[in-house]
């Protein structure tokens, strides 16, 4: 509990974990240009094969960054070290060998297939490593062993969310390559739809699994989560515009046709962030010990101020005093980032 002197003071500082997470975030904008550079300069520098060098060096950069950035938040044991080395090593080997999953012939097909394989294996390796390091923080968020590094469940979830970036890019292009090979020459707009559908299914499953336990599920939150998820799923049909209006229905339809699902994903992320955001005043109130404002119904957030019994007049939720205190403390502890 090193940094818990004064909650008010604490709020004005970016904490150590958040700063480390941003360093990992920096991998997103630099990965693609570095991939290109590594391929371009592998010939003159190493005389080596371009694709293998590009994919392997990006994988190495990603794994080294993750381990360097998070090492002090991992309670290292022989098992965790071996697991980490094994997963990263396997993904690195996959990238360096660049053996396509199926035979490819066309121009650039091998690049697309091998690179998407690398993105998928890197994403899976990172998710695996996160589970090896912090599965206890995810599945037993309270009751942290004081000898364990102070990793919070929210930060584990944010790190998992970052790992979705390579994973989803890889899933999209891997599906694209598969439809190219086995699709019997279907229209490229249909290839895009299939790729978007598979990626959206992976994303929705992962996103809901990552955050599900962090959300107080009210009836309205459940309903709106369904609605937004359905809209995201429907948006994968956007490339149909390109299929039915092949000679261009104006720039707007072109943009929607090509990028509609990506825009929908952006909207979905913002929507779920706003929809799932925990009763912020409650967390602030717990942090500052403002007892009056803590008294809200955990189920429907209705104010319980001035009541003489722990029964919510709005939704009928009722508990014992110790359960209520425990619940409040637990939410405060879990919601640190
Ligand atoms: Zn209530």
Give, for all 337 residues of the chain, the pLDDT tens digit: 444 444 444 445 678 899 999 999 999 999 999 999 988 888 777 777 888 999 999 999 999 999 999 999 999 999 999 999 999 999 999 999 988 898 887 778 888 999 999 999 999 999 999 999 999 888 877 667 777 788 888 899 999 999 999 999 999 999 999 998 898 888 888 999 999 999 999 999 999 999 998 888 888 899 999 999 999 999 999 988 878 876 667 788 888 888 899 999 999 999 999 999 876 666 666 666 666 566 777 777 787 888 888 888 888 888 888 888 877 776 666 666 6
- Burial label for 5, CB within 10 Å (0-12, 13-18, 19+), is exposed
The torsion angles phi and psi of 303, rounded to 5 degrees, stand at -70, 135
HEC-encoded secondary structure of 282-330: HHHHHHHCCHHHHCECCCCCCECCCCCCCECCCCCCECCHHHHHHHHHH
Q: What is the pLDDT of residue 290?
A: 63
Using the mean position of ligand 1's atoms as its centre, give its distance from the Cα of residue 314 in Å.
5
Using the mean position of ligand 1's atoms as its centre, give its distance from the Cα of residue 317 in Å.
5
Q: What is the pLDDT of residue 98?
A: 86
Using the mean position of ligand 1's atoms as its centre, give its distance from the Cα of residue 280 in Å.
17
Using the mean position of ligand 1's atoms as its centre, give its distance from the Cα of residue 218 in Å.
10
Q: Would you say 39 and 54 are in contact if contact means Cβ atoms under 8 Å apart? A: yes
Q: What is the pLDDT of residue 314?
A: 84
Nearest to 111 by CA among 154, 30, 156, 49: 49
Count of structural domains within the chain: 3
Q: What is the pLDDT of residue 310?
A: 83
d(CA 55, CA 36): 9
The residue behind tokens 């799932």 is 276
d(CA 58, CA 50): 12
- One domain for residues 161 and 238: no
- One domain for residues 152 and 52: yes
Using the mean position of ligand 1's atoms as its centre, give its distance from the Cα of residue 316 in Å.
6
Buried b (16+ CB within 10 A) or exposed e, 63-98: beebeebbeebbeeeeeeeebbeebbeebbebbbeb
Using the mean position of ligand 1's atoms as its centre, give its distance from the Cα of residue 297 in Å.
5
- One domain for residues 127 and 40: yes
- One domain for residues 261 and 300: no
Q: Would you say 157 and 20 are in contact if contact means Cβ atoms under 8 Å apart? A: no
For residue 235, what are the domain limits?
186-277
Using the mean position of ligand 1's atoms as its centre, give its distance from the Cα of residue 212 in Å.
20
Question: 285 lies in a domain?
Answer: no
Using the mean position of ligand 1's atoms as its centre, give its distance from the Cα of residue 312 in Å.
5
Using the mean position of ligand 1's atoms as its centre, give its distance from the Cα of residue 320 in Å.
14
The torsion angles phi and psi of 143, rounded to 5 degrees, stand at 70, 45
- One domain for residues 56 and 137: yes
Q: What is the pLDDT of residue 17?
A: 92
- One domain for residues 121 and 212: no
For residue 212, give the DSSP letter: G
Question: 87 lies in a domain?
Answer: yes
- One domain for residues 209 and 271: yes
Q: Would you say 239 and 257 are in contact if contact means Cβ atoms under 8 Å apart? A: yes
Q: What is the pLDDT of residue 9?
A: 44
- One domain for residues 36 and 154: yes
Using the mean position of ligand 1's atoms as its centre, give its distance from the Cα of residue 296 in Å.
8
- One domain for residues 162 and 193: no
For residue 295, what are the CA distances in angstroms to 256, 280, 316?
46, 13, 15
Using the mean position of ligand 1's atoms as its centre, give its distance from the Cα of residue 285 in Å.
18
Using the mean position of ligand 1's atoms as its centre, give its distance from the Cα of residue 276 in Å.
17
Question: 283 lies in a domain?
Answer: no
Question: 172 lies in a domain?
Answer: no
Question: 313 lies in a domain?
Answer: yes
- One domain for residues 159 and 216: no
For residue 1, give the DSSP letter: -
């Amino acid at each position: 509990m090193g940094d818990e002197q004064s909650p008010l003071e604490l709020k004005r500082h970016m904490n150590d974990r958040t700063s480390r997470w941003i360093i990992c975030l920096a991998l997103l904008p630099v990965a693609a240009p570095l991939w290109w550079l590594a391929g371009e300069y592998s010939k003159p520098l190493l005389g080596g094969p371009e694709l293998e060098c590009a994919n392997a060096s990006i994988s190495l950069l990603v794994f080294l960054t993750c381990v360097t950035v998070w090492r002090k938040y991992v309670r290292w044991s022989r098992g965790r070290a071996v697991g980490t080395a094994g997963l990263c090593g396997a993904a690195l080997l996959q990238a360096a060998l660049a053996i396509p999953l199926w035979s490819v012939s066309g121009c650039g097909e091998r690049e697309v297939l091998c690179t998407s394989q690398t993105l998928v294996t890197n994403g899976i390796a990172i998710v695996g490593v996160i589970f090896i390091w912090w599965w206890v923080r995810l599945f037993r968020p309270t009751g942290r062993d004081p000898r364990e590094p102070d990793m919070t469940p929210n930060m584990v979830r944010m790190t998992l969310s970052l790992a979705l970036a390579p994973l989803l890019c890889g899933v999209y292009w891997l599906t694209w390559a598969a439809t190219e090979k086995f699709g019997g020459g279907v229209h490229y707009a249909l290839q895009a739809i299939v790729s978007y559908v598979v990626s959206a299914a992976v994303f929705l499953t992962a996103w809901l699994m990552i955050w599900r336990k962090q959300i107080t599920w009210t009836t309205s939150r459940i309903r709106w989560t369904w609605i937004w998820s359905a809209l995201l799923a429907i948006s994968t049909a956007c490339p149909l515009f390109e299929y039915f209006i092949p000679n261009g229905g104006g720039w707007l339809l072109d943009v929607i046709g090509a990028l509609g699902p990506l825009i929908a994903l952006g909207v979905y992320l913002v929507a779920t962030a706003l929809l799932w955001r925990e009763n912020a005043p409650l967390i602030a109130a717990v942090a500052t010990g403002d007892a009056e404002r803590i008294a809200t119904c955990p189920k429907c957030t209705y104010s319980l101020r001035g009541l003489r019994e722990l029964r919510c007049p709005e939704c009928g939720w009722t508990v014992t005093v110790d359960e209520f205190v425990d619940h409040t403390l637990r939410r405060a502890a879990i919601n640190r980032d």
